[in-house]
Amino acid sequence: MPLQGPTGSLPLPNFVEKRLSSSSSSAKQRSLNIDNVNQNVRKAKYAVRGELAVKSEEYRAKLQKGEGKDLPFDSVISANIGNPQSLDQKPITFFRQVASIMENPALLENADVLEKHFGYKSDVFERADKLLKDVKSVGAYSMSQGAAGIRQSVADFIERRDGYPADPTSIYLSAGASSGVNTLMNVICATPQTGVLVPIPQYPLYTATLSVLNATCVPYYLDEESNWSTNVEGIRSALKKAQKEGIDVRAVVVINPGNPTGASLQPDDINSVLELAAEEKLVCVADEVYQTNVFEGKFHSFKKGLRDLQKSEKNRDGKFENLELASLHSISKGMVGECGHRGGYYEMVGFDPEVVAEIYKFVSIMLCAPVIGQCMVELMVNPPQPGSPSHPLYDQEYNHTFHSLESRAKALYNAFKEMEGVSCQPPQGSMYLFPTIDLPVKAVEAAEKAGKKADEYYCLRLLDATGICIVPGAGFGQKEGTLHFRTTFLAPGTEWVGRITKFHGEFMDEFR
């Protein structure tokens, strides 16, 4: 019998397969097997690192060993995951200079060398000194919630961004936004009947975490025709339907700007979601990790939306006073792209202090977020300001990354516009495009024959023909009867876009 991957459908990487098959005779001596491990983990799905990603890594390894002569491509492009620095994005020099001193304070003994030969400026030393005073050593645990000085910087940033004060005691530093989401969901989800409203399509962290926690995902659909907008009536009807089925819906997740859609919510949409949350007593979880990846219009935060509402006429009966809002941000995305350092934060407002105490306990059990990641959070929220010695280079690097992301998004969008059967909403933000594909009936039949969904089949064929790894729409959720794929626009150059166009033409011809 062929070995099955942990989701029941994924193939396992070669090394795992080898280990399993060589030891199947001793399986009886083991405590754990696939049927007795936590079945909630087994049923969770995370397509961005699924079957296609595993296969693409095998191709990459083959090419690296010089064994890929039979392959029709000479490089693998990982357009499946928003991992900026694994592609073209360069780290921001100021961040890495400060981090280098944080990791090795002995460098300070040769500060003149750093200045003369490595271009370190005085504000790099000042910042490293400030951070070292706050955390003492990046090799030490910080307090559970994160270093106090760094949380103060985050609060100052939120205040500058939104025009309303933020309280550092309401800010939790985390190992990326994922860890924050995990904490929040662990505390929110009490029984299998606990429901959380999740946008579809969505970044599968949410569906996967809810699966692991054996809670109920309550999907609400974003509106592709109006550029993937969030329609509050759609959320309300999903909520009512779930409530009728006995689900205790406690939270609504909004990804703003969206992954995989890139859409940003406008103030009116934000208000509508917050009004619904207040009326229905829902915790609002605002995932704002792409807040600087916005090409169209402007980013509007949920926190500002809430504070505006609290000040407005609409709050005369105090209905927004206790609205629970958790907003998340991360160093992984934007022009920072430091996802390997695992840093982020979430701010919680309106929560019951006894609930906050449980959240505090939950994060304490995991001790603290990586301290170097916490320092990166500080640098993200408090970058060099105009007039400071490191500002010119910071500004140049930031703008270069922003504009190259924007121009790649446009180049990819223009290519998609020309492809038969592909329609794509204009790029608005985040790091992805999520086009619809309309495949010929014969291609859908060929997919069925191969035991695949049609979008999976298309993506697998693309990978086999071009070495480009993208993710089928099914991995994010899509309306019944529609097919999509998601690609990042992080990969450098435009040669790979040409590979997609060529493959697509040939694929369509094959199944005409």
Ligand X SMILES: Cc1ncc(COP(=O)(O)O)c(C=O)c1O
Q: State which residue, 235 or 454, has the beta carbon closest to ligand X.
A: 235
* 44 in contact with ligand X (CB under 6 A): no
Residues of span 306-335 touching ligand X by CB under 6 A:
330, 332
Cβ distance to ligand X smaller for residue 178 or 271: 178
Residue with tokens 């099955």: 4
SS (H, E, C) 131-175: HHHHHCCCCCCCCCCCCHHHHHHHHHHHHHHHCCCCCHHHEEEEC
- Closer residue to ligand X (CB): 348 or 447: 348
Task: Return the residue nearest ligand X (CB atom).
Answer: 176
Contacting ligand X (CB under 6 A), which of 52, 177, 282, 369? 177
Total residues binding ligand X (CB under 6 A): 14
CB of 429 to ligand X, least distance (A): 11
Q: Judged by CB, which is closer to ligand X: 292, or 330? A: 330
* Assigned token pair, 37: 């491990």
Nearer to ligand X, 205 or 412 (CB): 205
DSSP 3-state of 345: strand
Residue 290 C-beta: closest distance to ligand X, Å = 7
Residue 66 CB partners (closer than 8 Å, separation 6+): none
Q: Which of 84, 176, 262, 427 binds ligand X (CB under 6 A)?
A: 176
Helix, coil or strand: residue 81: coil
Answer whether 161's CB lies under 8 Å from 177's CB: no
249 vs 328 by CB, closer to ligand X: 328
Q: Rounded to a whole number, what is the distance in angstroms from the first to the last CA of the chain? A: 35
Whether 198 contacts 206, CB under 8 Å: yes
Smaller CB separation from ligand X, 124 or 171: 171
Applying CB under 6 A, does 84 fall inside the site for ligand X? Answer: no
Tell whether omega for the bond before 105 is within 30 degrees of 0, i.e. cis. Answer: no
**Region binding ligand X by CB under 6 A among candidate stretches 31-39, 51-59, 147-155, 174-182:** 174-182
Task: Determine the Cα–Cα distance for residues 224 and 434; give it in Å rounded to an integer.
Answer: 10
Q: Cα angle vertex 434, ends 430, 180, to 5°?
A: 45
Give me the DSSP letters along 215-253.
Answer: -EEEEEE-BGGGTSB--HHHHHHHHHHHHHTT-EEEEEE
E strand map for 243-297: 248-255, 283-287
Q: Quick one: 271 or 327, whose CB is closer to ligand X?
A: 327
Contact region with ligand X (CB under 6 A), list: 150-158, 175-183, 315-323, 460-468: 175-183
Shortest CB 351 distance to ligand X, Å: 20
Residue in 171, 155, 101 with CA at minimum distance from that of residue 131: 101
Nearer to ligand X, 332 or 390 (CB): 332
Q: Establish if 339 lies at the interface with ligand X (CB under 6 A).
A: yes
- Report helix, strand or coil for 326: strand
To ligand X, the closest distance from the beta carbon of 148 in angstroms equals 22
CB 483 within 8 A of CB 56: no
Choices 14-22, 154-162, 173-181, 462-470; region in contact with ligand X by CB under 6 A: 173-181
In DSSP notation, 173-209 reads EESHHHHHHHHHHHHH--STTEEEEEEES--THHHHH
Other CB atoms within a 10 A radius of the CB of residue 81 amount to 18
* Cα–Cα distance list, 243 to 161, 218, 248, 250, 285 (Å): 36, 10, 6, 10, 19
Query: Min. distance of Cβ 366 from ligand X in angstroms?
Result: 14
Of the candidate residues 287, 324, 378, 456, the single one contacting ligand X (CB under 6 A): 287
Binding map of ligand X across residues 189-228, x = CB under 6 A, - = no contact: --------------x-x-----------------------
Indicate the residue among 171 and 339 with the shorter CB distance to ligand X.
339
Strand 325-330 relative to strand 422-423: parallel, antiparallel, unpaired?
unpaired
CB of 427 to ligand X, least distance (A): 16
Comparison of 123 and 338: residue with beta carbon closer to ligand X: 338
- The rounded distance, in Å, linking the Cα atoms of 452 and 164 is 50
375 binds ligand X (CB under 6 A): no
Q: How far is the CB of 210 from ligand X (least distance, A)?
A: 14
Contact 189, 210 (CB under 8 A): yes
Instruction: Verify binding: residue 344, ligand X, rule CB under 6 A.
Output: yes
User: From CA 77, how far away is CA 492, in angstroms rounded?
Assistant: 9
The nearer residue to ligand X, 177 or 276, going by C-beta atoms, is 177
Minimum gap (Å) between residue 409 Cβ and ligand X: 15
String of contacts with ligand X for each residue 53-82, x by CB under 6 A:
-----------------------------x
Residues 232-261 as x/- pattern, contact with ligand X by CB under 6 A:
-----------------------x---x--
Q: Return the number of the residue (335 or 339) whose C-beta is nearest ligand X.
A: 339
Q: Point out which residues bind ligand X (CB under 6 A).
A: 82, 176-178, 203, 205, 255, 259, 287, 289, 330, 332, 339, 344
